[in-house]
Every structure is written in structure tokens, then in C-alpha cells.
């Protein structure tokens, strides 16, 4: 079983596409702050692109522990988040403070009319180092480090 979390309208064949918004017609409409309807160690892979940063400093622990609970040992998890180091450099130092704040905390999802309020903005930030450290608290180790924009 493979879970594509926060899928939006990007549905992947062979995956269970999960999103909290029913209007995007996911395979499973589910609020990720709640437990999955799957048993422990039942998932071989999780994909979470541009999702984890939408959970605040405290809820992210609850959310990620649930992801770790369903993964079987040796399973793969792919997480993509904005790189705060790059955002700070390119948005703040090259442009201006207002652009940085709006990018980090404004209504910044690809479909703001569907995702607003609770999930419509970023609530936490990561660098490659802090994401690796955070995931490590749950026994998740990084295999292929890479930077994204």
C-alpha cells in the first residue's frame, strides 16, 4: 500500500490519494491530524509533497508520528518542503520583507479558493538539516539528501 498525502488534484495511479478536501475527489478524504484507518506497519511508501509545512510546531509531531506508525520497517517516505534557507536568501535579501512574509505565511497554496484558513498557509519551516533532524526523532533516516527551491 502506498499513500500520496495531500494529493490535491494530482492523482497517482497505484497509490491511495489522500486529501482533506472532498472537492478534489481523493481516494480517501481524510484530515491528517487524525489517525489513519490503516493498521501499524501496513504501508510500503508515503509521498508528502509541500504538505508538512502546513502543520504547526506542535501538531506536526502528532501528524508525523502517525505517518511513522503505518510505515513498515525499511519503507520509503518522500517529503518535499520549501527550503527556508533558500527562501530567506532569495526572498528577503534579494527582494523584500513583505514578499518573504507572504511567501512563508500567506495564503500560498496552488488553489487558495479550496485550501484556505487552516491549511491555506505555512505554519512551520524547514531547512534540509532541520527536516532530517525532525524525521530522525521518529526513526526515519535520510537516504538521498537533496535541496529543492
Averaged pLDDT in 10-residue chunks for the chain of 149 residues: 95 97 94 96 96 91 96 93 76 65 59 54 82 90 61
Which CATH code fits 2-83+124-136? 3.40.50.150
Nearest-angstrom CA–CA distance, 77 and 3: 9
Supply the pLDDT for residue 83.
80
Distances (CA, A) of 41 to 68, 91, 105, 134, 136: 8, 40, 34, 20, 18
| pTM score over 0.85 | no
Q: What H or E segment, with its residue span, contains residue 43?
A: strand 43-49
Nearest-angstrom CA–CA distance, 30 and 97: 35
Residue 25: its pLDDT value, please? 94
What is the domain partition of the chain in residue ranges?
2-83+124-136
Amino acid at each position: 500500500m502506498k499513500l500520496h498525502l495531500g494529493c490535491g488534484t494530482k492523482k497517482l495511479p497505484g497509490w491511495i490519494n489522500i486529501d482533506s478536501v472532498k472537492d478534489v475527489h481523493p481516494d480517501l478524504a481524510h484530515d491528517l491530524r487524525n489517525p489513519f484507518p490503516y493498521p501499524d506497519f501496513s504501508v510500503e511508501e508515503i509521498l508528502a509533497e509541500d504538505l508538512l509545512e502546513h502543520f504547526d510546531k506542535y501538531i506536526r509531531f502528532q501528524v508525523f508520528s502517525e505517518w511513522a506508525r503505518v510505515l513498515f520497517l525499511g519503507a520509503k517516505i518522500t517529503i518535499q518542503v520549501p527550503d527556508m534557507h533558500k527562501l530567506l536568501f532569495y526572498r528577503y535579501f534579494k527582494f523584500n520583507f513583505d514578499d518573504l512574509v507572504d511567501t512563508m505565511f500567506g495564503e500560498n497554496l496552488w488553489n487558495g479558493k479550496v485550501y484556505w484558513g487552516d491549511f491555506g498557509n505555512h505554519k512551520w519551516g524547514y531547512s534540509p538539516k532541520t527536516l532530517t533532524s525532525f524525521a530522525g526523532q521518529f526513526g526515519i533516516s535520510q537516504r538521498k539528501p537533496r535541496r529543492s527551491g
